[in-house]
Amino acid sequence: MALLPPPGNLLSFAAPALPPELTATLAASDAPLLMLPVRLETRFFAQPDGATQELRVRVYPDQIHIDSHEPALSQDEFLWGQHFWQQIWRAGRDEAGERLAWQQLCDRFDAHRAAWIARALSPTNIADWPSAPIPADKPLPAEPKLTAAAMLKDPTGGSWQRAPLARAMPQRWIAVATARGALVGYALGAPVDREPAVGPDPQDKTEATPDQPAIDEGMRWMVDFNDAEKHGMALRLKVATAVAQQGIDALVVFGVSSLDPAAASAAIASLLDAHHYTDGLGFLRVGTPTNNSTEAPSGWSSQDPLHARSFGIECRAPALPTGSNADVLARALGFDANLTQATLRTLWDAALIEQIDAKQMAAALWPATWGYYLLNLIGVEGTGLTLEAIEWARQHFIANVRAFGPLPTMRVGRQLYGFLPVTPFGGDPAKITDARERWLATTLKTLSDRL
């Protein structure tokens, strides 16, 4: 097909009017949104009229969405977990004895699964935990009363009982395409009517026909566009051919879940737990190399001789100080104290106080950076700058400015995720009472508008 000559004004065509769905409020403005990434695949299809192109968009969940955790225990896992807690009880808070019990459990299962078994069966009578070792030939003063953990419904089916699913999906996906600052296309997906399967279902015994791919019905959406569209995981946008040929500047696909804040926090905690006990979850120190290079390897390794590293974080996790990685992330995600302890305390580097270190570094560097610039290169004579304004800037810098961001980075499996808090410059800066805060908001809004 011959290319159409580019129009004199690419955006001279009639831009589509916004439907009510795109102008409707998706979520209350006083509730924060946690925006998780997804992966998009796109392809243009020519239309019979020649004037438009159909842009097909497939939405695939990212690593953090995927839950392959099997909470129910097998009989073997239950017996080994029971043995683990009895050994912990006999160790009587002696580290060497606890370490040996942990090694035995991890040698039978991997460290992630061992951690889940230990948590699922965690005794309810911690107050009866002996304070001194109990010899093997002596009876325990009190047996550990294990939590009634869920057991596999089909013990003969093995440890793999269900397909991995994509959790925390929105009600529906909305796609918006823009070019040269104007809206050029949009689409509203069908409701996401289920948690999409992202792997095979071991319970599905259906035989594939010769003309069909050998996948079960739950996974069909991953290879069949029409099936994905039916279940809300694919969309079609109509775009003018001239625009398609010149190129789209941005394609944004987004969606919102209607869970209330407390339920949403619990859902995110459950998703983090699922990764913790399968492919791994932890915090990443500032400055950690994320890739292998000729100079040095990446900062992550699966090697853990004698399970010493996992023992330190799963069995001997320190208390979480105020300002720790776990503390600041928990407050950002709306976790209460119990949820924080259950989900974040036993993660790698959860107790690091990097934000406090960064605050202290900001205070130390102020005299040699902004402090020197404002006081010596600008000065207070005839500039309108005052010592009080400089002190306000210093306090603001120390309290808020972080070179690496105000929230920690997490490792989900082998994928890294940074948490970046953002807020729109909404409202009228003139209504801000404090003159210095009003000046800062006005300046930032002006700079944003000029980008």
Assess whether pLDDT exceeds 50 at residue 2.
no
3-state secondary structure the chain: CCCCCCCCCHHHCCCCCCCHHHHCCCCCCCCCCCCCCEEEEEEEEECCCCCEEEEEEEEEECHHHEECCCCCECHHHHHHHHHHHHHHHHHCCCHHHHHHHHHHHHHHCCHHHHHHHHHHCCCCCHHHCCCCCCCCCCCCCCCCCCCCCCECCCHHHCCCCCCCEECCCCCCCEEEEEECCEEEEEEECCCCCCCCECCCCCCCCCCCCCCCCCCCHHHHHHCCHHHHHHCCCEEEEEEEHHHHHHCCCEEEEECCCCCCHHHHHHHHHHHHHHHHCCCCEEEECCCCCCCCCCCCCCCCCCCCHHHHHHHHHHCCCCCCCCCCHHHHHHHHHCCCHHHHHHHCCCCECCCCCHHHHHHHHHHHHHHHCHHHHHHHHHCCCCCCCCHHHHHHHHHHHHHHCCCCCCCCEEEECCEEEECCCCCCCCCCHHHCCCHHHHHHHHHHHHHHHHC
Provide the pLDDT for residue 398. 95
Confirm if 362 and 401 have CB atoms less than 8 A apart.
yes
Confirm if 163 and 194 have CB atoms less than 8 A apart.
no
Assess whether pLDDT exceeds 80 at residue 375.
yes
Angle between the N-to-C axes of helices 354-365 and 325-333, in degrees from 0 to 180, rounded to the nearest 10: 100
Higher local confidence (pLDDT), 24 or 411: 411
Assess whether pLDDT exceeds 50 at residue 8.
no
Q: Which two tokens stand for residue 103?
A: 């090694």
Assess whether pLDDT exceeds 60 at residue 380.
yes
Counting residues of the chain whose pLDDT is more than 90, the rounded percentage is 69
Provide the pLDDT for residue 108. 96
Burial of 387 (0-12, 13-18, 19+ CB in 10 A): exposed
Assess whether pLDDT exceeds 70 at residue 124.
yes
Residue 5 — pLDDT band, cuts 50, 70, 90? very low
Provide the pLDDT for residue 1. 30
Provide the pLDDT for residue 17. 67
Among candidate residues 161, 366, 410, 437, the one with its CA nearest the CA of residue 375: 366
User: Where do the domains of the chain lie, and which CATH numbers do they carry?
Assistant: 33-67+164-204+213-254 (2.60.40), 75-157 (no CATH), 265-360+402-420 (no CATH)
CA distances 159 to 151, 371, 411, Å, are: 11, 61, 25
pTM of the model: 0.88
Provide the pLDDT for residue 154. 79
